[in-house]
Amino acid sequence: MRSASWLSGGLAAGLVLSACVAFAASDAPKPQYGKWGFDLAGADFKAKPGDDFFRYANGTWLDHTQIPADKPAYSLRLAMTDTTEQRLHEIMEAAAATVAHAPTTTEGKVGAFYKSFMNEANVEKLGASPLKAHLDAIRAAKSRDDIAALMGRSNFDFNAALFGTYIDIDIKNPKIYAVTANQSGLGLPDRDYYLKKEFEGPRAKYHAYVASLLKLLNWPGADKHADEILALETRVAQASWTRVQDRDPVATYNPMTIAELEKLSPGFSWSRYLGEAKLGGLKRIIVAEKSAFPKLAAIFAGTPLETLKAWQAFTMADSAAPYLSKAFTDASFEMHNKTLSGQLAQSARWKRGVHTVSGGDFLAGDRVDRFGNIGWAVGELYTAKYFPPSSKAKIEDLIQNLKAAFRARLVKLDWMSEKTKAQALKKLDTYNIKVGYPDHNRDYSKLVILDDDVIGNVQRAAEADWDFYVRRMNGPVDRSDWGMTPQTNDAYNGTLRDIVFPAGILQPPMFDANADPAINYGAAGGVIGHEMTHGFDDQGRKFDAEGALRDWWTLEDAKTFETRAKILGEQYSKFEPIPGVKVNGDLTMGENIADLGGLTMALEAYHASLKGKPAPVLDGLTGDQRVFLGWAQAWRGKLRDETIRKMVVSDPHSPRMFRVNGPMRNIDAWYAAFGVKPGDKLYIEPSKRVRLW
């Protein structure tokens, strides 16, 4: 699951017990998968669970499922997204049917935004003309300071920058907001794509893509500038920190004055940049990759002005391409979706339209949701129809039971001292569980949306979003805030010490009210436990009960944690999803710890829910077996090789087969449930199994 900011779960006992009653009734609604919530036909029980449990639980489905041509991967999670996508399609089509040119209602603005994207004839007629003002501004730049000013618009315009900025809670003083500056400037997924021989193919395609977009803009010297732009981004990649380095919240917290920032990175006009970013009065900023900043500033100062202008033109067109004419969208698809993710065909236009307006996960559709959407308005309409307040209240109450289960587990930890444990329990007690949708809707009353101006809609929506964060920056921290829209098929643990489960993820197979409780514990319970564990993973453990970055561990406890986490990282680094490509156990550490903690906690919560009674046996499968199968089914899916290659260098999550096999082999109950013995490929000696949370 995705983690928010520095921090990156079955549903509670009462929830699954009520599901048990429904399951037992003869006239009860049927679960979506199988007779009791698990698709037995999709498993491969001929496989040996101790050799490959992912295959054991999902093998027949894997053999018979083809990844759709318009997707880089397919899974039951993406099937959930497909359901949400269809629902949003119906909502947007209805909203667009009678929409005014410049509507004033939330529903009208959603409809007009969607209509502007779907008016393909108008988009084709306009060609590149919606970018004229942007190109004119780039051509008019007479100095690097002018370019720095254009870069300052990168949060709410189509411009790119060598430095990014964002506004979030100050991690050492969580009562205030702070602006953080971080490295940026790469068009490929990760610095490795520029520096490693294995990515020569994508680099060559990227070079051709740069030239093709510049030619579509009628930018002179496109081929020459493509050489220069690739060389520029390669220098940026060499100066940039790795993703593993970026996971260290201590190393990336470097507060300073603006004068100190200018001294750290001379040659870049921070005054022009921050002024254009609407941060002109800023007195203090947090620098993330401190040692990279002087190098990036030197690269900027040493790059010819004409090269910087060509780079700005390309990156602007690259950002805007999904909303432009077919020539642009085809070029963008070939590079970002086909070359980098292996996707064979572009999604239907209506799907791209849904994601343009709503935002969402790139993996669920084409590259049309980078920024500039009105996802909160869409979420308001979605939850009004598909997630009533009664469901929100019920699940909020029931999830608290799993929080209690985690508390009981913390109390019993045998490797942690009482001093550290007291702080851990205090932190857990501060968790704020948020379910379904926010308590307050985002105000879009001043946002202008027109039914024939998709580029303008994207830009104005992006600016409205950025203005929202700038306006509240000097006020009190809003603990009711959400960082993920209600329709999102994901969850997170955030800097507000909040654990958020949007309405979009509360669907089968993640949660099915008609399924066997053990399945719900394995799937939804594992995910809820996952998010709770994020507050105690290798990053999250560095934040205290107030949400502040502070060391509250004894030295001995910290050393024990780090030793055990290192062993887990070494386990994952041996996993090889495709020949020659291995998982990075350091990059994926936080997610792997959360998976192990979440599944362990879910199993214990299931045991507690039985209240001393024996678990029923269904189709010859015990309760424990069904918990593990529920988790495995939740991650059922397959990815194209190109997607895997991109994932292992840029994604903090392990490929889904290892989100199943990785945690299982460290849980004693799994060995007992499936008779896993020495000699099985996943077998680990008891003394070498990782036991954390």
CATH number for the domain including 139? Answer: 1.10.1380.10
Q: Is residue 220 a part of any domain in this protein?
A: yes
Question: Is 113 part of a structural domain of the chain?
Answer: no
Average pLDDT over every residue of 553-558: 97
pLDDT digits (tens, 9 = 90+) for 237-270: 999 999 999 999 999 999 999 999 999 999 999 9
Helices marked H in 6-131: 13-24, 53-64, 76-97, 106-118, 120-126
* Pick from 606, 607, 605, 627: nearest CA to 618: 627
> Residue 534 sits in a domain of what CATH number?
3.40.390.10
In a domain, 450, yes or no: no
Same domain, 58 and 140: no
- Boundary-marking domain end, from 273, 307, 323: 323
- Asked if 517 and 624 count as a contact pair (C-beta separation under 8 A), the reply is no
Are the beta carbons of 114 and 108 closer than 8 angstroms? no
Q: According to the model, what pLDDT value does residue 28 have?
A: 63
Average pLDDT over all residues of the chain:
92
- pLDDT range class, residue 205, cuts 50, 70, 90: very high
Residue at 412 is within a domain? yes
Q: Is residue 676 part of a domain?
A: yes
Please choose, from the candidates 247, 251, 266, 240, the residue with its C-alpha nearest in 3D space to the C-alpha of residue 186: 240
DSSP 4: B
Q: Cα angle at 604 between 505 and 587, to 5 degrees?
A: 55
Residue 637 DSSP SS3: strand
User: 517 near 524, Cβ under 8 Å?
Assistant: no
500 in the same domain as 397: yes
pLDDT score for 388: 78
Asked if 212 and 514 touch (Cβ cutoff 8 Å), the reply is no
Q: Which of 542, 579, 534 is nearest to 558 (CA)?
A: 542
Same domain, yes or no, for 429 and 577? yes
Task: Answer whether 289's CB lies under 8 Å from 246's CB.
Answer: yes
- Same domain for 483 and 394: yes
d(CA 485, CA 501): 10
Does residue 70 sit in the same domain as residue 135? no
Mean pLDDT of 92-115: 96
Q: How many CB atoms lie within 10 A of CB 276?
A: 21
Average pLDDT of 82-104? 96
Residue where a domain stops, chosen among 323, 347, 377 = 323
Tokens of 51: 């050799």
pLDDT of residue 398: 62
Planar angle of CA 112, 461, 350, nearest 5 degrees: 45
Mean pLDDT score, 152-158: 96
Do 482 and 409 sit in the same domain of this protein? Answer: yes
**Helix-, strand-, coil-residue percentages of the chain, each rounded to 5:** 55, 10, 40
Q: What size, in residues, is the chain?
A: 693
Mean pLDDT calculated for residue range 173-190: 97
Please indicate, yes or no, whether residues 310 and 179 belong to a single structural domain of this protein. yes
Joined tokens for residue 624 = 């424990």
Residues 65 and 163 in one domain: no
With respect to residue 88, please indicate whether it lies within any of the assigned structural domains.
no
Average pLDDT over residues 512-540: 93
Q: Say what the pLDDT of residue 361 is.
A: 54
Greatest Cα pair distance in the chain: 77
Q: DSSP E strands: which ranges in 445-586?
A: 492-493, 498-502
Mean per-residue pLDDT for 112-128? 98
The verdict on 490 and 576 lying in the same domain is yes
Quick: pLDDT tens for 262-289: 999 999 999 999 999 999 999 999 999 9
If pLDDT is split at 50, 70 and 90, which confidence band does 399 have?
Answer: confident
pLDDT at 598 over 50: yes
Q: 44 lies in which domain range?
A: 13-74+388-445+477-688
The pLDDT value given to residue 402: 78
> Contact, 14 vs 521, CB < 8 A?
no
Is there a domain that residue 674 lies in? yes
Taking CA atoms, 192 is separated from 149, 243, 300, 337, 646, in Å, by 29, 10, 21, 18, 10
Whether residues 155 and 57 fall in one domain: no
CB-based contact 502:491 (threshold 8 Å): yes
What per-residue confidence (pLDDT) applies to 397? 59
User: Is the pLDDT score of 360 beyond 90?
Assistant: no
Confidence of residue 310 (pLDDT cuts 50, 70, 90): very high
* 405 vs 262, more confident: 262
**Which range, 25-39, 482-496, 625-639, has the best average confidence (pLDDT)?**
625-639
Written as six digits, the tokens of 53 are 């449990």
Strand order through the sheet with 173-183: 163-170, 173-183, 284-287, 254-257
Q: With bands split at pLDDT 50, 70 and 90, how would you rate the model's confidence at 430?
A: very high
The predicted-structure confidence for 365-394, as pLDDT tens digits, reads as follows 444 445 799 999 999 999 999 987 776 766
Q: Name the β-bridge partners of 499.
A: 433, 493
pLDDT at 3: 34
Which pLDDT band, with edges at 50, 70 and 90, does 193 fall under?
A: very high
Query: What are the residues facing 508 on neighbouring strands?
Result: none
- Look at residue 17 in the predicted model and tell me its pLDDT: 30
Residue with tokens 């510049």: 214
Task: Quote the number of domains for the chain.
Answer: 2
- In the 3-class helix/strand/coil scheme, how is 315-330 assigned residue by residue? HHHHHHHHHCCHHHHH
Neighbours of 474 (CB within 10 A): 9
Q: Give first-to-last CA distance, the chain, whole Å.
A: 18
Last residue of a domain, one of 301, 323, 345: 323
**Alpha helices, H only, 141-290:** 144-151, 192-195, 200-216, 222-239, 258-264, 270-276
The answer to the question of residue 539 being in a domain is yes
pLDDT at 444 over 80: yes
pLDDT digit string, tens, across residues 8-63: 333 232 333 333 333 334 456 899 999 999 999 999 999 999 999 999 999 999 99
pLDDT tens, residue by residue, 77-86: 999 999 999 9
280 shares a domain with 138: yes
**Cis, bond preceding 509 (omega within 30 deg of 0):** yes
- Same domain for 38 and 136: no
**Percentage, residues of the chain above pLDDT 70:** 93
**Cα dihedral sign for 154, 160, 164, 169?**
positive
Pull the structure tokens for residue 49. 């669970």
